[in-house]
Amino acid sequence: MKYKYKKLDYNTEYLEILSSSDLKKIADYSLRQYLLRVHMRDDGLYRCPLKKQWYQKNKIHVAHYHDRNRLNTRYNLDNCHLISEQSNMWEAQEPKEGYKSKHHYEYEIWLRDKIGEEKFEELSQESKKLVIFTKEDYIAQINKLRNE
């Protein structure tokens, strides 16, 4: 028996009928589209603040300083940044003493400088709070990102 895979329409306006799982995918997509929209250079390139180089869209990732599984900071714009694939994937596998990886070390230094020590500590505390997203939370997040 063949099963038909239903392709998710990431731009749908009919959010209320979707599952939480699909809404999370659309919220993640909307976050990426928002970051790409606000950080694109006139020639269509994007700057990685860690590598200090410009990249094409297919070589840039949305990175989260605090892991994506921490829902309280998953869509926080102080926690989410466009970072090169090289750093986010490959350097995240390079060990760095005292840190998860070279990527995490460089990300922390850059982020502390960008948002300041006080805001960095507040973000760290926020990331530790347990939050469960409802469908309404995902819909609100999607609408916010689409309309900013």
Strands 60-64 and 80-84: antiparallel
**What is the model's pLDDT at position 148?**
86
Give the residues of the chain that fall short of pLDDT 70.
1-5
- Whole-number pLDDT of residue 6: 74
The whole-number pLDDT of residue 8 equals 95
pLDDT at position 100 is 87
pLDDT, residue 109, reads 97
pLDDT at position 140, please?
Answer: 98
